[in-house]
Structures are given as structure tokens and as C-alpha cells.
Amino acid sequence: MSARQYSILPGQGVSDGVLVGQALAGDQRSFEILVHRYHHPLVSCIRGFLKDDEQVYDVLQHVFLQLYVSLPILLRNVSLKAWLFQVARNRCRDEPRKRRRRLRFLSPPSSGSTGKRNCHR
């Protein structure tokens, strides 16, 4: 049996660094293990900032997307856990601001306005 034929189960002693390297090499299962490993802890962290489930899962999706995009830089002795939680905290702080901007942009202009929006704010 080759090393690629065995199934790695989440939390069975395979380090984050090994999984990051394997995911970077194209091993989708390794990335799935990382997502599974950090899903619940990240949801708990994000819920400490945001109470709305839709926002929580939007932030979580962003964190895992950022993980995928950032795999090459995570090979350099970076603590994956610390990095993921920092990305989650930063995104949680940004989320209310982004929602306010979206709502302001999507809201109809006031009755006295010309209909033009100031995009420089």
C-alpha cells in the first residue's frame, strides 16, 4: 500500500505544516482536513464577535478562502492556528463596516437628493 492510499483522519497526529504542504501540492483531501480541523473553533471565535449566523458563515467562508489563497506563504514557519484566528478577528472587525457601506449604497436616495451618490466616502 502506497503512502497516498491510506486515509488521513482529522486530528490523527498529522501536523498543520504537513497538511499545508500537501494541499499546496494539490492534495484536496489535506485542505479538507484543515477545514474540518478548524471549522468549529473558528465558528466559536467568530460568534464571539458576530451574533448573526449569516455573517458568521460569511466570515468563516472568507477565512477558508484566504487560507487557500495564502497556502504558499504559510509554508514559512507560520503558526496556522494563530494565522487563521487573526484573519477571522480582522474580518469580524471589518464586517460591520462593510455591511453599513452596502446598506448605504443599496438604500434609495433621500427625497431631497439628486440621485447621485458620493463614491469618495
Q: What is the pLDDT of residue 112?
A: 53
Query: Chain-wide mean pLDDT for the chain?
Result: 82
- The domains of the chain are located at 16-98
Query: How far apart are the C-alpha atoms of 75 and 85, rounded to whole Å?
Result: 17
98 pLDDT tier (thresholds 50, 70, 90)? confident
Closest alpha carbon to 23 in 9, 35, 5, 41:
35
Kindly tell me if the per-residue pLDDT of 51 is higher than 50: yes
Topology adopted by domain 16-98 = Rna Polymerase Sigma Factor; Chain: A (1.10.1740)
Kindly tell me if the per-residue pLDDT of 86 is higher than 60: yes
80-89 contact pairs (CB < 8 A, 24+): 80/16, 80/17, 80/20, 80/34, 81/16, 81/38, 84/38, 84/42, 85/41, 85/42, 85/45, 87/62, 87/63, 88/42, 88/45, 88/46, 88/59, 88/60, 88/63, 89/45, 89/49
Q: What percent of the chain has pLDDT over 90?
A: 60
pLDDT tens-place string over residues 17-43: 999 999 999 999 999 999 999 999 999
Q: Which three three-digit cell numbers place residue 107? A: 438604500
105 pLDDT tier (thresholds 50, 70, 90)? low
